[in-house]
Amino acid sequence: MLKTFFIFLKSELNIVLDSHQKSQMESFVVFYKKENEKINLSTITNDEEIIKKHLIDSVYLAKYQNLSPFLIADLGSGGGFPAIPLAIIFPKSTFHLFETRNKKVDFLNRAIKLLNLENVFVFKSRVEDVNTLGFRNHFDLVIARAFKPLNILVELALPYLKIGGKLCAYKGRNYLDEIDSAIEAISKVGGKLNRIERYSLSDENDFRSFLFIDKIRDVNKYPRPYALIVHKPL
């Protein structure tokens, strides 16, 4: 089922999985499809779309960013993309997955147990509770895919990063509008836009983007209470 995905990994990212990793990836997709019928993890259901829009989209980050050995936070982990495929590929990195919804937390925990992933941990918590969780200035990299608009995401994500750490936001074709809306917020929360990488899953009309934001200083007053973050974005 995943032959085209494994070919993509080798040809585009120079990544060759061993037999155990291939088995883990296949088991995850089978489990995801089964559970998706019950708890609506995603509207993407057919094999070709799962491979392209979930698996390939998740791991494309490895083309532009070293991912091992890092301490990585995935905010709004949902159906396990991108963190679980990345955790399978990069077993020397540790992934912390943050999710609030009970059904998805349960799904993630069962997926981790099924795959015997010892480098993945799930936290049922609100992302803005970084100080209560004890994760301020903790991570090398924060990733977020289909999570929040950039002007809200940076206030939530940057407190998790060490000074010099990096936020990678998976975004679509309207990334320039998001940057325009977030440029002041990025500065206020102690960040700096590092670079933008565009990529395509099929053709140039279906391009997406990675936005890389460095944490250059820690600003203790952020994040604010979530209601303020949403209703009065920076």
Tens-place pLDDT, residues 75-112 = 999 999 999 999 999 999 999 999 999 999 999 999 99
Number of domains in the chain: 1
Question: Is 189 within the bounds of a domain?
Answer: yes
For position 42, what pLDDT does the model report? 86
Question: Is 190 within the bounds of a domain?
Answer: yes
Given a cut of 70, whether residue 203 has pLDDT beyond it is no
Distance (Å, rounded) from C-alpha 76 to C-alpha 67? 19
Task: Give the residue from 69, 62, 51, 68 showing the smallest Cα distance to 4.
Answer: 51
Which are the contacts of 6, defined by CB distance < 8 A and separation ≥ 6? 17, 22
Question: Is 84 within the bounds of a domain?
Answer: yes
Question: Is 13 within the bounds of a domain?
Answer: no
Mean pLDDT is lowest, of 44-53, 66-75, 191-200, for 44-53
Which tokens is 64 given? 């532009």
Q: Are 141 and 163 in contact (CB under 8 A)?
A: no
For position 136, what pLDDT does the model report? 98
Given a cut of 90, whether residue 43 has pLDDT beyond it is no
Q: What percent of the chain has pLDDT over 90?
A: 91
Question: Is 88 within the bounds of a domain?
Answer: yes
Residue 112: domain span: 62-231
Strands 207-215, 94-99: parallel, antiparallel or unpaired by DSSP?
A: unpaired
Question: Is 43 within the bounds of a domain?
Answer: no
Question: Is 225 within the bounds of a domain?
Answer: yes
Given a cut of 80, whether residue 158 has pLDDT beyond it is yes
Specify the residue for token string 């301020």: 136
CATH of the domain at 220: 3.40.50.150
